[in-house]
Homo-oligomer: A and B are copies of this chain.
Amino acid sequence: MKQRFLHSIAKDDALRLWLAAFSGREAATEVLPVSRTLERITATPVVARESSPHYAASAMDGIAVEAKDTIGAAPGRPCRLELQSNCFAVDTGDPMPPGTDAVIMIENVVLVGTSCDIEQGVAPWQNVRPVGEDIIAGEILLPRYHCLSPVDLGALLAAGVHSIAVLAKPRVTIIPTGDELVLPGTPLQRGDIVEFNSAIIAAEISLWGGEPLVYAPVPDDAGVLQRVVEQAIRASDMVLIIAGSSTGRGDYTADVVEQVGEILVHGVAMRPGKPVMLAKAGLVPVVGLPGYPVSAHHCLETFVKPLLYAFNHRPLPKTEMVDGLLTRRLVSPFGVEEFVRVAVGQVEGQVVVTPLARGAGIVSSLMRSDGTVIVPQSAEGFAEGASVRVHLRKPLAEISGSLVCIGSHDLVLDVLADYMRLRYDLCLQASHVGSMGGLLSLKRKFAHLCTTHLLDEETGEYNTAFIKRMFPGEDMVAINLVERWQGFMCRVGTGVKSWQDLRAVRFINRQRGSGTRVLLDYHLHKYGLESSAINGYLREETTHLAVACAVANGSAEVGLGILSAANAFGLDFVPICLEQFDIVMRRATLHDPRIQALLSIIRSAEFASRVGELGGYATNKSGEVVWTGNA
C-alpha cells in the first residue's frame, strides 16, 4: 500500500496553470464539404468564390428596358417600346436581357398588343439587383474561428464555396481502469461495478466539441496501463484516465503518468474531485479523474471543459445564475471549495434551493440536480434560509414552471407526474422528506403543496389535527389523493403475521417524521411493545422502495410499507390498515391553473384505473376535499 502525498492547491490556481500549459497549441484542421460543417469551427477566414447574384437580375416582375429610352416619359405623354425588341417581360430573379439596365414595375406599364406604353421614366439600374448585391466574389464571408450556423452554410453555398477548412475536433481518449469494472449489459456478480463513467464523459466531450474515443477497461496492472496510456498519447489530443489517481491499493495512475510525462497538479482543494491529477505528456494533456462518478464529472467540468473550449477557440458558454433561499442548513469543511448539487424550485415568486445527497458515488444526484451551489474555501457552509447563488444546469424558465410537491413518498405520485406531462406538458417536481417534512416545507412556502398521511393518536383521524396545529389562522385545504394499504413487507416465508412477531426478526424502519414511522409508533404503543425490543428500530430508510430493497437483499427481514413497493421486490405483504394519503395546500393555491390540471387528473377515470393496476390502493375518495377551513 503505497501512500502518495496529495498536495492540494486552490482550484482557480490549478486551472490557470493548466490552461497556460497548453496556450500555444497549434490546432489540426480538416477540409470538409460545407454540408458537413454545421457547428464546426472555421480554421481560416473564408473568402467568397462567386458573387451573388452572379448576374444582374430583375428585382421584380415587370418590363426590362434601357433607361435612356424612357427619358421624358410622363403620364399622358408615354413613350412606346416594342416587346422583344427594346423591352422585355421579366420575372423577379430573371437575368436582365442584353442591352437593358432597368426594370419598370408591371403595374406601371400599359400593354398595347406587342407594344408597351410607359408613363414614367426610370433611372439606370433601378429595380435591378446588381451582380454582388448580396455577396461579392473575393470578400471575406466568415472570419477564422467562427462557429458555423445554418445560415452560414447557406451563404457559403450562395458564394460558390463548397468545402472549407475547419478545426479538427480534438480527439479525447478515455481510459477506464480497475479490475472490478464490467461493461454495461454484463450479468452482474457481487463486486462487479458497471463501467458507466465513460458513457457520461464521452457524451459531455461530444457536446463540448471534442471527438471521444473510449477504450476497454484496463486492469489494475501498472505495466499494462503504461502501455495503453503511451498508445493513447500518440493517437490523441487529450487523454483521460478514470480512477487510480487516489492513494489506495492499486492506484497506479500517478506512477504511470510520471513515467510518460510531467504531473502539473495532483490534488486540488475542492470537493468533490480532490484527487484529480493534471499532467502533460509532450503537448498532450493527461487527466487522472477520480473513479466516483460525481467526482469524475466535477473534474471534467472544471478542467476538461475549459481546455476543450480553448482548443476550439470558443468562449465558454455562460452559466445562468439565480439567487435562492436555502431550505436547509448546508455544512461544508473549512479550507475546501465545495460544489453542492441542488434541486431548485420556484414557489410564489421565491426561488428555493435544496441540497441533494452529496456522496461522490451517487450518480442519481447528478441526474436530479438543477444546479450547483459553491461553498467557498473560506466558509463552513450556509445557514438554513440563507440566500445562495445557484449555477444552473437547466434554464430557469423550465424550473420555474414546475409545481413543487414535498412530503410523503408514494408511487402514485409518479403516476400523477406522468399524467401532468402527458396531458398538460406540465412538470410536477415531487421530493420525499416524509409527511412532517412536507408540512414544514409547505409552512415555509418551499412547496406549492405537500403529501401527508399522519395518523393522530388521539382522534384516530389522518392529517387534520396536524394541519390545525401547524397552520394556525391560515386558510388550508386537504384533498385526498388515494387511500392505500400499509402492511408488513416481508421476505417470502418470514412468517410475520402480527405486531408481536416483530420481536423475533430483523426489522428496518422509516425515518422520524414520516407517516409510516408514526403509524409504527402508534401500533407499538397500542400493543405495548418497546422500541428497544425491535431489532433494527434504529436503522432508517427514507422511502418505501428503499425499505423493500433492504428486505429483498436480506439485510433485514421485514419493514412497514405499501403493497406496490412490496410487489416491486416480490415480497410478501401482510396488510395492516387502509390509510388516508392526502394533498395539502393553501386554499389560494387552488386558483393556480396547474393545480386545476392536477385535480382534474386525480378525479379522472384513467388515473383511478392506472392506480388500480399498481395494487393496494382505493380511489373512491380521490380528489375529494377531505377537510377545509380556516385552520
- The residues of B that contact A401 with a CB separation of less than 8 Å are 315
- The residues of B that contact A250 with a CB separation of less than 8 Å are 91
Q: Are A362 and B133 in contact (CB under 8 A)?
A: yes
Interface SS of chain A: helix, strand, loop or mixed? Answer: loop
Q: Are A425 and B313 in contact (CB under 8 A)?
A: yes
State how many angstroms separate the Cβ of A549 from the closest Cβ of chain B: 4
Say if the beta carbon of A117 comes within 8 Å of chain B. Answer: no
**A546 CA / B51 CA spacing, docked (Å):** 10
Q: A361: which of B123, B129, B157, B553 is its contact (CB, 8 Å)? A: B129
- Report the nearest B residue to A124, measured CB to CB: B539
Q: A366: which of B155, B397, B568 is its contact (CB, 8 Å)? A: B155
State how many angstroms separate the Cβ of A125 from the closest Cβ of chain B: 6
Which residues 222-273 in A have Cβ within 8 Å of B in the complex? Answer: 248-250
- The residues of B that contact A318 with a CB separation of less than 8 Å are 395, 397
**A546 CA / B129 CA spacing, docked (Å):** 12
**A202 CA / B151 CA spacing, docked (Å):** 10
- The residues of B that contact A395 with a CB separation of less than 8 Å are 315, 317-318
Q: Mark A85-117, 1 if CB is under 8 A from B, else 0.
A: 000000111110000010000000000000000
- Report the nearest B residue to A207, measured CB to CB: B150
- Report the nearest B residue to A208, measured CB to CB: B150
- The residues of B that contact A34 with a CB separation of less than 8 Å are 184, 199
Q: A143-B417, A363-B154, A363-B158 are in contact. Are A56 and B553 (CB under 8 A)?
A: yes
Say if the beta carbon of A72 comes within 8 Å of chain B. Answer: no
Say if the beta carbon of A12 comes within 8 Å of chain B. Answer: no
Q: Are A141 and B249 in contact (CB under 8 A)?
A: no
- Report the nearest B residue to A150, measured CB to CB: B203
Q: A144-B422, A157-B184, A191-B55 are in contact. Are A362 and B132 (CB under 8 A)?
A: no
Q: Are A153 and B203 in contact (CB under 8 A)?
A: yes
Q: A144: which of B56, B94, B418, B565 is its contact (CB, 8 Å)? A: B418
A and B contact pairs by CB, cutoff 8 A, 25 listed: A38-B206, A39-B207, A54-B192, A55-B190, A91-B248, A93-B180, A101-B555, A123-B538, A130-B550, A131-B549, A131-B555, A132-B549, A133-B359, A134-B364, A138-B545, A138-B568, A150-B207, A153-B196, A154-B199, A154-B200, A157-B194, A157-B199, A158-B363, A160-B188, A160-B194
- Using CB atoms and an 8 Å cutoff, list the residues of chain A in contact with chain B: 34-35, 38-39, 45, 50-56, 61, 91-95, 101, 123-125, 129-145, 149-155, 157-158, 160, 162, 180, 184-185, 188, 190-194, 196-197, 199-204, 206-207, 248-250, 293, 297, 313, 315, 317-318, 359, 361-364, 366-367, 395, 397-398, 401, 414, 417-418, 421-422, 425, 427, 538-539, 543, 545-546, 549-550, 553, 555, 565, 568-569
